[in-house]
Each structure stands twice: as structure tokens, then as C-alpha cells.
Structure 1
Amino acid sequence: MSEPRFLEYGAKWTALLYGPLFALAGYLAELATGATHAVAWVLVGLGLAAITAPWVHARRRFLTVRVTDTELWQGRESLPLTDIAETRDVGTPAGARVLGGGWSTPRKYDELPLRLTDGTVVLAWAKDTEALRAALERS
């Protein structure tokens, strides 16, 4: 598989570090005051990392946007680039289908209307729609 033209992950695995870092800050605060509960803070850090892992996995699976030389991937749905006719000045009709299988564009993502070769309009989405558009327009 070739290098992607555009790749935007739904989440990064570094988010797993937030819980242990919070636990470390709590331990250091306790250390400054006297009595410490090291085992409890280790358990807190591990617990927070454990509940963050499924969240990161789900966001990476359903909110990753990737453009390769042949396809646009939105979450788990792919669209061949040959099916895209226009990326600029495409209006968004009511009821346009959102790529990726959702009912609406994911929160904190901008939408990019695409006209397909059959005349229908679908909504692609990304945090950086201009970079997505540029990747789709590259031949």
C-alpha cells in the first residue's frame, strides 16, 4: 500500500498517557504534603489508561480520514476517487448522505460536500477540509 496523500487520525495513542500523568501529579502533590498512597495512585493511573484505551481505539476506527491514490476512507467506509466529480462550489442539499455511516458530520469536524459522477452529493468531513480537498484534487 502506498503512502497516504492525507491522513487524519480520530485520536492519538498518546492520550493513554493522560491518566498516568494525572496520577503522577496526584502522587507528587501527596508527597509534598507528607503521607503518600503509592499503590492507590498506580491503580488510578492504570485504571484511567484502561478506560481511555477503548475510547482511543473507537475514535481511530470510526473517525480516521485517509486519502490514498485510489480511495477516500472516512471511518470504515471507502469511496473510490474515480467516483468524485467535483470538490469545489458544491452546494449541500438537505438530506445529503454523510460518508462514514453517521447521521451527521462528527462533532468538531468540518464538512466538505462532494459531487459524485452519478450527480449525487455526499458529505466528506475532516478537521482540515482544505488539506482534504487538496489531497482529493491531486491526480
Structure 2
Amino acid sequence: MSETRYLESGAKWTALLYGPFFAVFGYLAELATGATHAVAWVLVGLGLAAITAPWVYARRRFLTVRVTGTELWEGRESLPLAEIAETQDVGAPTGARVLGGGWSTPRKYDELPIRLKDGTVVLAWAKDVHALRAAIEGA
């Protein structure tokens, strides 16, 4: 596998800690008032971590953007860099295919139109399209 030149993960696994931290603060607040329910707070922390895990897994699987020395990965779809003709001043025609398999660019992501060597235009997406463009052109 070639080195990663650009990486934007969809979510970080540290998000699993939000639920247990909330439970610890809830327990400490209860401790300050007198009556505590330690078992309930442990269950709340574990429950919140359990429902956060599929969310993090899905975001990492479908919203990760990576550029290696040979490929551009958008979610689960890869595009060989050898197929890319240009990334500068490419207009996005209506109905251009979005990389990654979605109908449109994911929310909170900017789009980067890319012209392929066969003349078609596809839409790549990232939170920082300038860094993505630089990584594609640098590779």
C-alpha cells in the first residue's frame, strides 16, 4: 500500500468516550446532591457508547477521504489518479456523478469537480477541497 498523502476521516473513535464522560459527570452531579445511582450511570455510559459505535463506524466507512500515491478514495469508492486529467477550473455540469456512491455531495462537505481523461466530470468532496486538490496534483 502506498503512503497516504491526504486523509480526512469521517469520525474519530474518541467519540465513543462522550457517553461515558456524560455518565461520569451525571454521577458526580448526583454525588453532590446526596443520592447516587452508580449502576444506572454505568448503564447509561455503556448504552450511549453502544449506540455511538455504529454511527462512528458508518461515518468512517462512508465519509473518509484519502489520497495515496496511486488512488483517490471517497468513502468506499476508489479512483486511480492516472485517470484524472485536471482539477483546476473544471465546471460541475448538472447530473455529474458524485464519487463515493451518493446522490449528492455529503452535507457539510465542499465539492471538487474533476475532469477525467475520458472527458467526463465527476465530483469529489472534502471538508478542505484546497488541500485535497493539492494532494491530488502533488501525486
**Cross-structure match for 2:125:** 125
1:3: how far off?
2.0
* Superposed CA RMSD: 0.6
Q: Which residue of 1 aligns with 2:64?
A: 64
* Alpha-carbon distance in structure 2 between the residues aligned to 1:68 and 1:112: 17
Letter in 2 for 1:90: V
CA distance in 2, matches of 1:30, 1:110: 44
Q: Which amino acid aligns with 2:37?
A: H
How many pairs are equivalent?
A: 139
Q: Which amino acid aligns with 1:95?
A: G
> In structure 2, how many angstroms separate the alpha carbons of the residues matched to 1:25 and 1:107?
32
How do residues 104-119 of structure 1 correspond to structure 2 at under 5 angstroms? 104-119=104-119
Query: Residue 96 of structure 2 corresponds to which residue in structure 1?
Result: 96
- CA distance in 1: counterparts of 2:35 and 2:4, whole angstroms: 52
- Aligned partner of 2:73 in structure 1 is 73
Show the counterpart of 2:21. Answer: 21
Q: Could you say what secondary structure the match of 2:61 adopts?
A: helix
**TM-score, structure 2 normalization:** 0.99
Secondary structure in structure 2 of the residue aligned to 1:5: strand
- Residue 8 of structure 1: aligned partner: 8
Match in the other structure for 1:31:
31
Gaps of 5+ in 2: none
User: Identity, % of aligned pairs?
Assistant: 85
Would you say the 8 A contact 2:2–2:70 is kept in 1?
Answer: no
Give the TM-score taking structure 1 as reference length. Answer: 0.99
Deviations 1:91-125 (A, max 9, x none): 01000000000000001110000000000100000
